[in-house]
């Protein structure tokens, strides 16, 4: 499944947020109360959390019901809806393996109290992609194109570093935004895993 791992500090998160807020194809799915959700075009801040991004050209969002009932569609996500069947984590909207949904995971920066060394969390974009195309749940061409454009944008803004940071002896695999890269140059470490 497509995964785009990134190191980003608070300044870099503003850059990521600005990119997403300006993109007409993306909406954030946010809580509107217990079991209620709504699509919005912009949010004000990215804090350490998991964010649901709906790629609008990727198709309607499913509304899951009980095990014996057929699923429906959310008629207008910008008007909001009440979730009938939630996933295991009720703090997040549940869409199953919908290929029009991309998740953005923003991870915490940590500071070691003894050494005051900063550790940069391993954040990421994740997408189910075409994992379930064989059973008829595939991404639209527009969403495939969006993912490629997102990857290209991230690559233009970043430098690829090994997991844990540039001083590690392993091959580069994580994309470090400018602020995070500057922190690495000043001695910061990167998380190896997305906690």
> For the stretch 109-131, what's the b/e string if a residue is b when 16 or more beta carbons lie within 10 angstroms of its beta carbon?
beeeeeeeebbbbbbbbbbbbee
pLDDT at position 68 is 65
- pLDDT computed for residue 195 by the predictor: 66
**Inter-residue contact 145 to 99 (CB < 8 Å):** no
Using CA atoms, how far apart are residues 107 and 17, in angstroms rounded to an integer?
Answer: 14
- The answer to whether the beta carbons of residues 86 and 35 sit under 8 Å apart is yes
pLDDT in tens, the chain (195 residues): 789 999 999 999 999 999 999 999 999 999 999 999 999 999 999 999 999 999 999 999 999 876 666 678 999 999 999 999 888 899 999 998 899 999 999 998 776 655 566 799 999 999 988 776 777 677 899 999 999 999 999 999 999 999 999 999 999 999 999 999 999 999 999 998 876
Q: What is the pLDDT at residue 131?
A: 74
Q: In the chain, where are the structural domains located?
A: 3-157
Rounded CA Rg of the chain: 18
């Amino acid at each position: 499944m497509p995964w785009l791992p990134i190191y980003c500090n608070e300044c870099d998160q503003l850059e990521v947020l600005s990119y997403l807020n300006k993109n007409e194809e993306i909406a954030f799915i946010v809580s509107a109360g217990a079991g209620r959700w709504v699509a919005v075009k912009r949010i004000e801040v990215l804090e350490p959390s998991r964010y649901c991004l709906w790629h609008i050209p990727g198709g309607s969002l499913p509304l899951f019901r009980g095990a014996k009932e057929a699923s429906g569609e959310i008629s207008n996500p910008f008007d909001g809806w009440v979730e009938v069947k939630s996933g295991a984590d009720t703090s997040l909207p549940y869409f199953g393996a919908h290929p029009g949904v991309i998740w953005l995971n923003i991870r915490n920066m940590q500071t070691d109290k003894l050494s005051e060394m900063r550790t940069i969390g391993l954040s990421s974009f994740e997408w189910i992609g075409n994992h379930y195309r064989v059973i008829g749940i595939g991404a639209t061409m527009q969403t495939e194109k969006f993912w490629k454009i997102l990857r290209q944008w991230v690559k233009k803004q970043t430098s690829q570093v090994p997991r844990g940071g540039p001083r590690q002896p392993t091959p580069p695999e994580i994309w470090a935004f400018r602020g995070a890269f500057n922190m690495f140059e000043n001695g910061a470490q990167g998380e190896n895993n997305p906690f």
